[in-house]
Structure 1
């Protein structure tokens, strides 16, 4: 049974979300503030986290950042403010998706199902060939099974989407992908957002893996076309 953590300080909303998810067969826990949510998110064996932005104690943004340092499970953020949506899109917080209040519980359940299914496909390493489990290119080592990345033997901490984007590009070296193609392949056609998200994540990746971001050694910009991973 899949386990889901709801971090929500509005009791009525949290219990409504829990009830709908339990009807669909999920095991659900609720945390009423950011501090408890962070503790459970870091120590509990959860498959997905539903995380409200506005929380007492620690904000949802900070909870998301800290969980992303060690966990790669899907995080669905809940917000009621457009400004928060812009932050989720632009700051590379590590959230996989967001949903705005008010929302229909059935929509939330549908999002949860979609992200769990997609995550299972991505981490289904046993169905992948061994050659795809590990990618080694000029000092960069990607361990798909462990979902860890090393640059010259130093581990690089990536968000879920940063890892997926890097892994996808590295599996297709010297192939040019447009921003729209990358958004469809990594985020999925049903994901909210747009191709500008790809630009933000490419910039974040370069900051983490490139010695000189102005002269990229791994991820090149092909002007007017998209991005290419150099072999």
Structure 2
């Protein structure tokens, strides 16, 4: 069970947020000071960190410092409404937050967003994915290797990140839709087939013709870091 760790300016706010997290099915903990909060996140890299901030400058600086320190956890910032303007909220996101919402927040919305963030997985801003013939920097979408370069769109890179986090396991289209959109503003499921097709075309070229994204019929798609060779049933001639 995932844990939610809360950093809040008062015990009352902390207890309220922890209570909502527990009602949403999470374990919860609270830390009164940013250093202790950071240490708790280090000890549990799968936990979601909730930062209840009074000032946007504090939230931005805290997120930036945690990311520079190597904190990989999901960070969910709740910012006082008087500070929750587009500019400051965008800055907090650029500093490493995964979601920023005005506070106080409706209890049911808070619970729903926690579940969405839990489905999304760990923070991947600096994920490096090694393949047989190239390396993908997930932050920039740049793929380099063998003197060649390619660029993945943001959505293509997120598909690759979802597959690479669980190599060798087939992810269904529904799982990939969850990783990409978290249930919000979802396009049609066929977008996954389109993204996989474009992703494969770019990566095959960078890996010397080797395909590292495999279709598992009836189940979905999976990342095979060393690539894979097609297998044919006995007594069936391989296509020329």
Query: TM-score, length-normalised on structure 2?
Result: 0.50
Matched positions, count: 156
Structure 2 residue runs of 5 or longer lacking an equivalent are: 146-152, 163-177, 186-201, 207-240
Partner of 1:106: 108
Partner of 2:96: 94
Partner of 1:17: 17
Contact 1:34 1:60 in 2 (8 A): no
Contact 1:79 1:85 in 2 (8 A): no
Shift of 1:71: 3.0
The 1:82–1:118 alpha-carbon spacing in structure 2 relative to 1, beyond 3 Å, is same
The 1:53–1:44 alpha-carbon spacing in structure 2 relative to 1, beyond 3 Å, is same
Partner SS, residue 94 of structure 2: coil
Contact 2:116 2:182 in 1 (8 A): no
Report Cα offsets for 1:13-32 as digits up to 9, x if no partner.
11011112223331111112
Shift of 1:39: 2.7
The 1:167–1:21 alpha-carbon spacing in structure 2 relative to 1, beyond 3 Å, is closer
Contact 1:53 1:78 in 2 (8 A): yes
The 1:185–1:89 alpha-carbon spacing in structure 2 relative to 1, beyond 3 Å, is farther
- Two-structure CA RMSD over aligned residues (Å): 4.2
Shift of 1:101: 1.2
**C-alpha distance in 1, partners of 2:53/2:181?**
21
The 1:8–1:136 alpha-carbon spacing in structure 2 relative to 1, beyond 3 Å, is farther
Partner SS, residue 59 of structure 1: helix
Contact 1:53 1:59 in 2 (8 A): yes
Q: If you compute each CA radius of gyration, which structure gives the higher value, 1 or 2?
A: 2
**C-alpha distance in 1, partners of 2:14/2:33?**
11
Partner of 2:67: 68
- With 37-46 and 90-99 compared, the bigger mean Cα shift is at 37-46
**C-alpha distance in 2, partners of 1:11/1:53?**
14
**C-alpha distance in 1, partners of 2:60/2:21?**
23
Shift of 1:92: 1.2
Contact 1:3 1:48 in 2 (8 A): yes
**C-alpha distance in 1, partners of 2:100/2:117?**
11
Partner of 1:36: 36
Contact 1:142 1:167 in 2 (8 A): no
Report Cα offsets for 1:85-142 as digits up to 9, x if no partner.
523324611111112112111111110001101228x9xxxxxxxxxx74466x6345
Contact 1:53 1:61 in 2 (8 A): no
**C-alpha distance in 1, partners of 2:182/2:86?**
18
